[in-house]
């Protein structure tokens, strides 16, 4: 029997408080997601099953516990022997086991049509529940095209095995990444970690300022060889079954992403396997980075959706001044604008994911950079406005919005900060004729569907017809990404969304802040599409 909480207290009666959401089918209650996955050819059954299971009250409670009890570093055992391990709360392991068993890292590589779109949808859904556990699963997904067999097979088993033992003895494996060093940051060619060739392989010596998911079974890393910067796979255990010389120096005390461990590490002649040719490290690891960028474009859409859903639930059940908040015109403007931003981010991310499925490398390269930049620039503002919809209780750790707020800046920083992405877009447009043509075709395909879009695209082409100075790269990328999102929505054919997006984001009608919508926008239609029920 379930005991209901007391509402008749000694000093007052508890009323005008929304009920607990309970189990939520995150697939069934998200119309834009269902439409988007179908439109982009995604594999629907695994996503539908994942969304139904991910949104249960149990899963959401596990996410909160994984954040309340962050990972702990254990450098030595009780006898003083070095173990270099990280301990996690059981909820972290439960969520990771659920995600891997559901196919988060594997579904894109199993040969079924629409696998990358399905994977992108799972990123979006898992981010709504607990973003930190996404990191090791994302890197495992992205490592598949880079690592050799038998590692590739281990990553695709759909089995999570947290045991600390050699990978050949485990049911499944995960892969992390360790590239960044103190003196270089994004400039990985400044890395000083060196790799020495020995009779039994390679040995690495050096430090890494950020190592993501340090309990992974192996790490992709960069080190200098006589031929130049090279890419290596560093297992946690050596081939003879000994702990590899990877020293965990400390865990990062991060603003958010608390369930996930990020570490500073040192290699002390650690055993490593060379991937690709010596001196070709950047090109080799970019295959992984290309796929992690897809996830960092989708995750902010998931964060926005989670924040929007909380705001909509609250406003649907909360009365103020004798009316439900959701029925008040000014609140409707805010909620409709949040819904507009969230749906655009989702649509753009899924469109890019389809290019991965179609092996459309030209569009995928430029598209994923644009989606990552735009979605992450918008995410913090959406989360903040959703928090304000709840008032003071939105700022309190009893609910999920503080977690989402701390997470909101993260994906803009990981896998290429905003400036790095903008410079990458400039290089791609200057050097990659196929990518440039693919983007042109994607933008041109929406011509004739909205005169405001046509005018905006013409104005963009006229203004940016010549060389672009590096100092203007953010302006260029913002406009390109916004036009691409608009084109995606226009071709999706949902006028209630596409028209207002073009009017406000492309044509600049209305104000620049959330909720400053012009009079002609159908706020009720936007809210109706976004309602999580």
CA 41 to chain centroid, in Å, comes to 20
Residue 1 has pLDDT above 70, yes or no: no
To the nearest whole percent, how much of the chain has pLDDT over 70? 99
Asked if residue 94 has pLDDT above 90, the reply is yes
Q: What is the dihedral of CA 464, 467, 469, 475, to 10 degrees?
A: 20
CATH code, residues 175-278? 2.40.110.20
Confidence (pLDDT) at 467:
84
Residue 3 has pLDDT above 80, yes or no: no
pLDDT of residue 189: 86
Mean pLDDT across the stretch 89-100?
A: 98
Where exactly are the structural domains of the chain?
Answer: 31-168, 175-278, 283-530
pLDDT at 185: 81
Structure confidence by residue, pLDDT tens digits, 330-349: 999 999 999 999 999 999 99
Beta bridge partner(s), residue 323: 320
pLDDT of residue 465: 82
What average pLDDT does the chain have? 96
pLDDT at 188: 87
Q: Is the pLDDT of residue 329 over 90?
A: yes
Q: What is the pLDDT of residue 184?
A: 83
Instruction: Output the pLDDT for position 70.
Output: 96
List phi, psi (to 5°) of 88. Answer: -125, 155
For the chain, helix (H) and strand (E) counts, in that order, are: 18, 11
As a CATH number, domain 283-530 is: 1.20.140.10
Q: Is the pLDDT of residue 2 over 70?
A: no
Looking at the predicted structure, is the pLDDT value of residue 100 above 60? Answer: yes
Question: What's the CA gap between 79 and 77, in Å, rounded?
Answer: 5
The H or E element spanning position 386 is helix 361-389
Three-class DSSP labels, 399-465: CCHHHHHHHCCHHHHCCCCHHHHHHHHHHHHHHCHHHHHHHHHHHHCCCCCCHHHHHHHHHHHHHCC
pLDDT of 257: 96
- Which residues, in sequence order, are CB contacts of 213 under 8 Å at separation 6+? 135, 136, 139, 174, 176, 177, 260, 261, 262
Provide the pLDDT for residue 186.
83
Tell me how far apart the alpha carbons of residues 16 and 443 are, in angstroms, rounded to a whole number. 47
- pLDDT per position as a tens digit, 343-374: 999 999 999 999 999 999 999 999 999 999 99
The answer to whether the beta carbons of residues 154 and 173 sit under 8 Å apart is yes
Pick from 200, 467, 489, 497: which is nearest to 340 by CA? 497
- Neighbouring residues of 153: CB distance < 8 A, sequence distance ≥ 6: none
CA 205 to chain centre: 31
């Amino acid at each position: 029997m379930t005991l209901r909480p007391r509402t008749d207290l000694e000093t007052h009666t508890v009323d005008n408080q929304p009920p607990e959401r309970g189990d939520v089918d995150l697939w069934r209650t998200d119309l834009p997601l269902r439409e988007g996955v179908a439109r982009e050819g995604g594999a629907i059954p695994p996503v539908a099953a994942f969304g139904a299971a991910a949104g249960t009250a149990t899963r959401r409670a596990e996410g909160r516990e994984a954040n309340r009890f962050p990972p702990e570093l254990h450098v030595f055992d009780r006898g003083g022997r070095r173990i270099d391990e990280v301990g996690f709360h059981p909820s972290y392991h439960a969520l990771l086991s659920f995600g891997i068993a559901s196919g988060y890292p594997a579904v894109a590589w199993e040969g079924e049509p629409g696998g990358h779109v399905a994977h992108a949808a799972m990123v979006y859904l898992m981010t709504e529940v607990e973003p930190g556990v996404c990191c090791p699963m994302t890197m495992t997904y992205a490592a598949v095209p880079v690592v050799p067999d038998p590692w590739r097979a281990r990553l695709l088993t759909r089995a999570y095995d947290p045991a600390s033992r050699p990978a050949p003895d485990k049911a499944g494996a995960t892969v992390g990444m360790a590239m960044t060093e103190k003196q270089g940051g994004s400039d990985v060619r400044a890395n000083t970690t060196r790799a020495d060739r020995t009779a039994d392989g390679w040995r690495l010596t050096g430090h890494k300022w950020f190592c993501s998911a340090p309990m992974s079974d192996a790490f992709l890393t960069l080190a200098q060889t006589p031929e130049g910067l090279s890419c290596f796979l560093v297992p946690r255990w050596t081939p003879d079954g000994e702990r590899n010389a990877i020293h965990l120096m400390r865990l990062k005390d991060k603003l958010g992403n608390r369930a996930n461990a990020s570490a500073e590490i040192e290699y002390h002649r650690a055993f490593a396997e060379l991937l690709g040719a010596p001196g070709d490290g950047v090109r080799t690891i970019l295959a992984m980075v290309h796929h992690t960028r897809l996830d960092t474009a989708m995750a902010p859409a998931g964060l926005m959706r989670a924040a929007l859903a909380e705001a909509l639930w609250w406003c649907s059940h909360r009365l103020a001044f004798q009316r439900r908040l959701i029925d008040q015109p000014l609140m409707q403007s805010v909620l409709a604008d949040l819904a507009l931003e969230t749906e655009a981010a989702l649509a753009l991310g899924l469109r890019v994911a389809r290019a991965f499925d179609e092996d459309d490398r030209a569009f995928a390269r430029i598209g994923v950079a644009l989606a990552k930049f735009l979605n992450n620039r918008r995410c913090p503002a959406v989360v903040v406005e959703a928090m304000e919809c709840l008032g003071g209780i939105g700022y309190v750790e009893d609910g999920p919005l503080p977690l989402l707020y701390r997470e909101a800046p993260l994906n803009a920083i990981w896998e290429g900060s905003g400036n790095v992405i903008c410079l990458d877009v400039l290089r791609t447009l200057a050097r990659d004729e196929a990518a440039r043509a693919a983007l042109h075709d994607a933008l041109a395909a929406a011509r004739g569907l909205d005169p405001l879009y046509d005018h905006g695209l013409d104005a963009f082409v006229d203004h940016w017809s010549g060389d672009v100075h590096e100092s203007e790269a953010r302006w260029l990328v913002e406009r390109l990404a916004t036009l691409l999102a608009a084109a995606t929505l226009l071709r999706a054919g949902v006028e209630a969304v596409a028209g207002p997006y073009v009017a406000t984001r492309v044509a600049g009608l209305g104000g620049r802040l959330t909720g400053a919508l012009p009079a002609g926008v159908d706020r009720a239609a936007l809210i109706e599409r976004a309602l999580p029920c």
